[in-house]
Homo-oligomer: A and B are copies of this chain.
Amino acid sequence: MTTQTTPTIEQALAKGKQAFMQMSTLSTDQKNDALEVLATLIEQNSEAILAANQQDLSENKESLDSALYQRLKLDEGKMTQLVQGIRQLKTLEDPTGKILAVTELDDDLILTKKSVPLGLIGIIFESRPDVMPQILSLILKSGNAVAFKGGREAKNTNGAFMELVINAMTQQLDYLPEGWATLFETREDVQAMLNYSQYVDLIIPRGSNELVQSIMSKTRIPVLGHADGVCHQYVHPSADLDKALEVVIDSKIQYVSACNALETLLVDKAIAEKFLPSFAKRAKTEGITVHACEQSIGYFDDATPATETDWRTEYGSLTVAVKIVDGLEAAIHHINTYASHHTDGIIAEDKVAQQVFLASVDSASVFANASSRFADGFRYGFGAEIGISTARTHARGPVGLEGLVSYKFTLEGHHNLVRDYVGVTPERQFTHKIVK
Interface residue ranges, A against B (CB under 8 Å)? 21, 24-25, 77, 103, 105, 109, 111, 118-119, 201-202, 216-217, 220, 222, 240, 243-244, 246-247, 250, 254-255, 336, 347, 354, 358-360, 362-371, 373-375, 379-381, 391-394, 396-398, 406-419, 421-422, 424, 430, 432, 434
A394–B358 alpha-carbon span in the complex (Å): 24
A366, closest chain B residue (CB): B410
Complex: A103 Cα to B381 Cα, angstroms? 8
Residues of B within 8 A of A105 (CB): 374, 379-381
Chain B residue at minimal CB-CB distance from A415: B243
Distance from A248 Cβ to chain B, minimum over Cβ atoms (Å): 10
Residues of B within 8 A of A392 (CB): 118-119, 201-202, 406
Q: List 21 A-B contacts (CB under 8 A).
A: A24-B362, A25-B359, A77-B424, A105-B379, A105-B381, A109-B374, A118-B393, A201-B393, A202-B392, A216-B220, A255-B418, A358-B412, A366-B408, A368-B413, A369-B414, A371-B416, A374-B413, A379-B430, A381-B432, A381-B434, A393-B406
User: In the complex, which of the residues A103, A375, A412 has the most CB atoms of chain B within 10 Å of its own CB atom?
Assistant: A412
Using CB atoms, name the residue of chain B closest to A433.
B381
For A366, list chain B residues within 8 Å (CB): 408-411
Contacts of A368 in B (CB 8 A): 410-413
Q: Nearest-CB distance from A261 to chain B (Å)?
A: 10
Asked if A109 and B359 sit within 8 Å, CB to CB, the answer is no
Asked if residues B412 and A354 are in contact (CB atoms below 8 Å), the reply is yes
Q: Decide yes or no: A373 and B409 within 8 Å by CB, A222-B393, A380-B105, A391-B222 being known contacts.
A: no
Judging by beta carbons under 8 Å apart, are A421 and B379 in contact? yes
Contact at A413–B369, with CB atoms within 8 Å?
Answer: yes
Q: Tell me whether B394 and A380 are in contact (CB under 8 A).
A: no
A25 to B419, CA, bound (A): 42
- Distance of A82 from chain B, by nearest CB (Å): 16
CB neighbours of A424 from chain B (8 A): 77
The one of B118, B359, B412 in contact with A369, judged by C-beta atoms closer than 8 angstroms, is: B412
Whether A111 lies near B411 (C-beta < 8 A) is: no
Query: Bound complex: CA of A222 vs CA of B336, how far in Å?
Result: 21
